[in-house]
Amino acid sequence: MIVYGLTMQGKTEEIPKEVATWLFDRDSRYPNIEFIVDCWDPHSSQVEEFETTARKYSRLYHLTGPFSAGNILNVLTVTFPYLKQAWNVRIVGAFNEKENRVATQEEKAGSEDGSREEYIRSLPLKLRAEIAGLSTTPTPSLPAEMERINRETAAVIRHKDETPLKKPTEMIPFSPDWRRTSEFSLSGDEIEKFAESAKLLLDPAIQKEAESAIRAKDWEKLKQLKAQRYN
């Protein structure tokens, strides 16, 4: 299931060709997984960071935690970086341990009220890596084309002859299976405060906490999260 996230509100229903190629293949193989697509344009304070990242890496893998089986990556979100934009695909799903398969949306919903809690679990680490298109075999080190940026992120190093684009140049029209919407609104002054905190939404370790603070317009909480993570 392909879902458009909140950042896709008001945008044309289309996604970059490279994202579409990656996404459609996985959606056909894992129909019970939610692939949540979001698009970010950097705030003026983030332009240099976006450009540095896109020039060095062709793909980023944001993790739900550190390596826990050799170097199999526990991937939460895959990012396609551009100099002036980033496209994210978040992998969301549950696993039916009793029948050894990805749980359906109905089973996943049923587990939330405890009726199937005994065998509906989070996606296994190896399955997350498989869905993300990475190795599922423990190895003593990352492959040569990848490196660990920090505890929460690994990345594919861009080839020297591969020039990053400013923004995607070829877009594929696509209507999602579902879209996330919000009545959330911001004043002009609040938009500036939101832009200063937008980076926090790309950090899987605090993404939910940051989303909650933004919805509550708790700018002080966002300052604290930013200080804890990046100072």
- Give the pLDDT score at 72: 86
Can you tell me whether residue 22 is helix, strand or coil? Answer: helix
Can you tell me whether residue 59 is helix, strand or coil? Answer: strand
Q: Give the Cα separation of 33 and 28 in Å (integer).
A: 10
- Mean pLDDT lowest for which of 19-23, 127-131, 147-151, 153-157? 147-151
Q: Please state the rounded mean pLDDT for residues 11-28.
A: 95
Sheet holding 2-4, edge to edge: 146-150, 153-157, 57-63, 75-81, 86-92, 34-40, 2-4, 178-179
Q: Please state the rounded mean pLDDT for residues 135-156.
A: 87
* pLDDT at residue 44 is higher than 70: yes
- What is the per-residue burial (b if ≥16 Cβ within 10 Å, else e) of 154-180? bbbebeeeeebeeebeeebeeebeebe
* pLDDT at residue 5 is higher than 60: yes
Can you tell me whether residue 87 is helix, strand or coil? Answer: strand
pLDDT, tens digit, 9 for 90 and up, residues 177-192: 888 776 555 555 666 6
Token reading at 83: 């100099």
**Extents of the domains making up the chain:** 2-181, 183-231
pTM: 0.77
- Give the pLDDT score at 189: 64
